[in-house]
Structure 1
Amino acid sequence: MTDAGLSRISGRVIGIAIAAALGGFLFGYDTSVINGAVDALAADFDLGAGLKGFSVSIALLGAALGAWFAGSIANRWGRVPVMLLAAVLFFVSSILSGLAFSVWDLMIWRAVGGIGVGAASVIAPAYIAEVSPARIRGRLGSLQQLAIVLGIFAALLTNALLAATSGGAAETFWLGIETWRWMFIAEAVPAVVYGVMSLRLPESPRYLVRKGDYDKASQVLLDFSGEPDVNLKIQQIKDSLNLEKRESMADLLGPALGLKPIVWVGVLLSVFQQFVGINVIFYYSTTLWRSVGFDENSALLTSVITSVTNIVVTIVAILLVDRVGRKALLLAGSVLMTISLGVMALAFSFATTAADGSVALEGAWSIIALIAANLFVVGFGTTWGPVVWVLLGEMFPNRIRASALAVAAAAQWVANFAISTTFPWLSGISLTLAYGLYAAFSALSFFFVWRRVRETKGMELESMDDR
């Protein structure tokens, strides 16, 4: 094939990978939009610390549910229909969360949006891995994380702009609706874009082979993946899928505490990705920076700056993942996160607590905490953020990919829920305890990767096994 032909095919596969990764954008937007709204809605609905934490994290339970069922739905109906379903759920959740008349009403619609988040978190990395050539699969798989951090940035920036324009998240804005409600409603726009883009995507060739539609699978492989021998690739996919046996959750069972070892690796990668506490930064950062002396607008702006940092380092990760490899990046990230979280724990040991329970950092320690938090974002954003999604999309054998990814993603959302729900309680005891705990998990993640994670750089999906 000529260089021009390869360039055309690469452009096509990059295009559909970007479109699929828009689910990651909504994933990031939906899980971070609560950041700027949480204090205002807590005051509006008169929430205590426990209910405030649950209102933040309820979407994560919905995400665990969506992730769990997304694999079986994708195997039955295809990858693209799951994307369309997620777009609809995002849209409904955004509008009705913004119009909620009670905290219970809000939590229901946040959970609905969470189901869409969970489904998108499973289907985007699986789809991207299944349409991508091995030589650039890592970079294309990293687009999922880039889309997530862009979604986080868009949510934080939208929140900051709305709050600055209206005078605060609790203030009344357009049509007599409070600003924090508009923060949720604004998500309807990218939800519509995602739905429209999903309608234009080709189905995954590996799903088409599973359903016996070899002609369409061949066309997708030829047009988008640039396979030099389509018939050989179809046969390899057929062999790896073991078509005589229909995929089910039972295929994940094995001798290691009930699951295949490779499934446990995926589950623990997901759990460690959340137990380092990254989403504490993105869910509670506005509240956190107000505690170190920033006013609401400055705290929102600082959260946006942190998000921009995350975008930049994710782009760096995209450039490195197919060169350096997955395992080396994870190990380096574990070291950097452990150091930065340890410094944050130390900084907050010098904090003072006011009579109302608010925490304040003064002098140099406030700057040290800010630098350490952004260093943590750098460490996560260049390594564990994108690389875990790349690995989850490619590390499982074809026959169990969707189901195994669903289990791993569900575990990730449960872990995210646990961390997000317990942070207000832990921080009420001691921020040093909270960040010290996350630092300990970061250190443990290094040894887990060293012993259990194998390199997948440059490997064909058909060569993945159950080990």
Structure 2
Amino acid sequence: MAGGPVFAGKGGREYPGNLTPYVLATCIVAAMGGLIFGYDIGISGGVTSMPMFLKRFFPDVYRKQTADTSTNQYCKFDSVPLTLFTSSLYLAALLSSLVASTVTRKFGRRLSMLSGGVVFCAGAIINASARNVAMLIIGRILLGFGIGFANQSVPLYLSEMAPYRYRGALNIGFQLSITVGILIANVLNYFFANIHNWGWRLSLGGAMVPAIIITIGAILLPDTPNSLIERGKKDEAIAKLKRIRGVDDVTDEFNDLVVASDTSKLVEHPWRNLLERKYRPHLTMAIAIPFFQQLTGINVIMFYAPVLFKTIGFKENASLMSAVITGGVNMVATLVSIYGVDKWGRRFLFLEGGAQMLICQIVVTICIGLKFGVTGEVSSLPEWYAIVVVLFICIYVAGFAWSWGPLGWLVPSEIFPLEIRSAAQSITVSVNMFFTFVIAQIFLNMLCHLKFGLFIFFAFFVVVMSLFIYFFLPETKGIPIEEMSMVWKNHWYWGRYIPNDDASNGLSALEMGISKEPVKPVY
């Protein structure tokens, strides 16, 4: 039998296995599903700051930028149709993620990813050839359907394929792909903005490239052993598990997966079962984590970075370059999370990132407030002042990129039992998309009315979410995905929701020898 690290399983058994080149390559390809989400996040703000795009589709906003010099800086982009262009995608993603749950469970993770890639590609084609706002919105809705399928299936795929000791790092590959997509979009916006009449078409049409990548990847990828067992393909599943782990003896892990699958089949209505008391911790995290992730204010920066920088006094190309800089910081900082998530733990990164974002939001509030006041009547920022604003926004982005960004997808995807996994992941994606839609739809209006106080609004939620993590999220580092229930049983608060008889499927395994050390309550 091939050598490698051994992983503790149920009843004191050990799961032998390696981080094989096969599983590494598989997870890298699957993680590229994040490119479509990232590309869209990055492309939206840049396109909506391009004069030719605004002149063609949103002439009222264009006039504010050019003719109406009296408009205060905070309100120059306040337009319901403009924000609907951005936010309609996320409403569509919310709806499609609910459908994706059934597809992912019954037909496998790969088909869900494939569906997302094909539909996203169709939306990109329609947007690139748009003649009116209606075509733009239709294209955005199709993009949203694609993102809903991809975001539902990719994190689950990664969590199920990865050896649990490396699960955090491999799963965060999804977030890394998102940041790469954002950076590529920002760079393309910077160059395409100089193409006078149709640069925006190239930016929007470029979304076809990541869509083709995930489509081809989904065709070539294997399905996860969990999914194969769930669909009754046990012979294929055990062969796949051997190849993934790089060893011949996978009996213990395979048997545990079969038991988990058999248990899940007893659940006739996973959506209804989510409301059961014993799943209260999981449902809470499925809702709270994506909710707080959006209320950090990060999408204000990523959606509207060029718009925001232009609003606070940067020229057009300078605002696009500032977005490129923040996109680069976002990508590099995500690598820190990949390195540290399985070393330092989820809770440490959550809390450190929250503190960092809070400090930066306070500093940016002071900087913008001192310069613009409540009237917003100022034409530009001194160069040194603008550098300070960009610097602290970059530090803020870095804090998000190694904490709430990747962990907002990782933690929900690894904590759900198989019997509710697809349904619960759909809840996570739906909540994420709903609040992304809300923030995208109301941000420019909030900026117009709250002015620099908008950053204080988000800073308040950073405080609340950090306290939530400190008291209610247990550490999930190094816990096998099929034994995650033990962290809830030993939590000071959530333990009361886990019945003792249910604990015997994994929780009481602590008493059967999973760990030689006593397990302390976690916070």
TM-score tier (shorter): over 0.9
Q: How does 1:49-68 map to 2 (within 5 A)?
A: 49-68=79-98
Secondary structure in 2 matching 1:462: helix
Corresponding residue for 2:274? 252
Contact 2:173/2:338, CA 8 A, preserved across alignment: yes
Aligned partner letter, 2:37: F
* Residue 28 (structure 2) aligned to one of 18, 38, 49: 18
- Distance (Å, rounded) in 2 between the aligned partners of 1:325 and 1:260: 23
C-alpha distance in structure 2 between counterparts of 1:445 and 1:158, whole Å? 34
Amino acid at match of 2:457: L
Following superposition of structure 1 onto structure 2, how do residues 45-444 of structure 1 map, counting pairs within 5 Å? 45=57, 46-47=59-60, 49-164=79-194, 166=195, 171-172=196-197, 178-226=198-246, 229-241=249-261, 242=263, 243-246=265-268, 248-255=270-277, 260-352=280-372, 360-362=380-382, 364-444=384-464
The aligned counterpart of 2:48 is 38
* In structure 2, C-alpha distance between the alignment counterparts of 1:356 and 1:309, rounded to whole Å: 28
Q: Distance in 2 between matches of 1:392 and 1:364?
A: 41
Native 8 Å contact 1:139 1:321 kept in 2: yes
* Distance apart, 1:383 and its partner CA: 0.8
Report the counterpart of residue 499 of structure 2 in structure 1: none
Write the letter of the residue equivalent to 1:133: P
Structure 1 contact 426–433 (Cα < 8 Å) conserved: no
> Are the aligned partners of 1:292 and 1:362 in contact in 2 as well (CA < 8 Å)?
no
Task: Report the Cα offset of residue 252 of structure 1.
Answer: 0.8
Deviation per residue, 1:95-146 (Å, 9 max, x gap): 1011112112211110110111121111111000011101100100110100
Segments of structure 2 that go 5 or more residues without pairing to the other structure are 6-15, 62-78, 489-493, 495-523
In structure 1, what is the Cα distance between the partners aligned to 2:340 and 2:379?
39
Residue 292 (structure 1) shift:
3.2
Deviation sequence 1:176-209 (CA, Å, 0-9, x none): xx21111111111221122112111111111111
2-side partners of 1:24 and 1:357: how far apart? 40
d(CA) in 2 for partners of 1:290, 1:432:
15
Q: What's the secondary structure of 2:402's corresponding residue?
A: helix
Distance in 1 (CA, whole Å) between partners of 2:442 and 2:355 is 24
Counterpart CA distance in 2 for 1:108 and 1:374 is 33
Residue ranges of structure 1 left out of the alignment (5+ in a row) = 173-177
Separation in structure 2 between the aligned mates of residue 322 and residue 4 of structure 1, nearest angstrom: 18
Letter in 2 for 1:78: G
C-alpha spacing 1:140/1:62, structure 2 compared with 1 (3 Å): same
The aligned residue for residue 515 of structure 2 is: none
Counterpart Cα distance in 1 of 2:456 and 2:382: 20
Are 2:126 and 2:138, in contact at CA under 8 Å, matched by a contact in 1?
Answer: no
Q: CA deviation at 1:30?
A: 1.9
Indicate if the aligned counterparts of 1:247 and 1:399 stay in contact, CA closer than 8 A: no
Question: Following TM superposition, by how much is the alpha carbon of 1:210 offset from its aligned partner in structure 2, in angstroms?
Answer: 1.0
Check whether the contact 2:119–2:142 (CA below 8 A) recurs between aligned residues.
Answer: yes
User: SS state of the match for residue 370, structure 2?
Assistant: coil
Assess, with a 3 A threshold, how the Cα gap between structure 1 residues 134 and 392 changes in structure 2: closer, same or farther: same
d(CA) in 2 for partners of 1:406, 1:220: 26
Shift of 1:225: 2.9
| Aligned CA-pair RMSD | 2.2
| Distance in 1 between residues matched to 2:470 and 2:159, nearest whole Å | 24
Check conservation: 1:17, 1:128, Cα contact below 8 A. Answer: yes
Counterpart in the other structure of 2:39: 29
CA contact (8 A) 1:24 1:148 kept: yes
The offset of 1:228, in angstroms, is 6.1
Deviates more, 1:184-193 or 1:361-370: 361-370
TM-score, length-scaled by structure 2: 0.83
Q: How much has 1:328 moved relative to structure 2? A: 1.1
Deviations 1:149-184 (A, max 9, x none): 0011111111112123x2xxxx22xxxxx2111111
Contact persistence 1:53–1:424 (CA under 8 A)? yes
| 4 and 231 in structure 1: CA distance in 2 versus 1, 3 angstrom threshold | closer
Aligned length: 455
- Return closer, same or farther for 1:433/1:355 CA change in 2, 3 Å cut-off: closer
**The structure with more radius of gyration:** 2
Q: SS of 1:199's equivalent?
A: helix
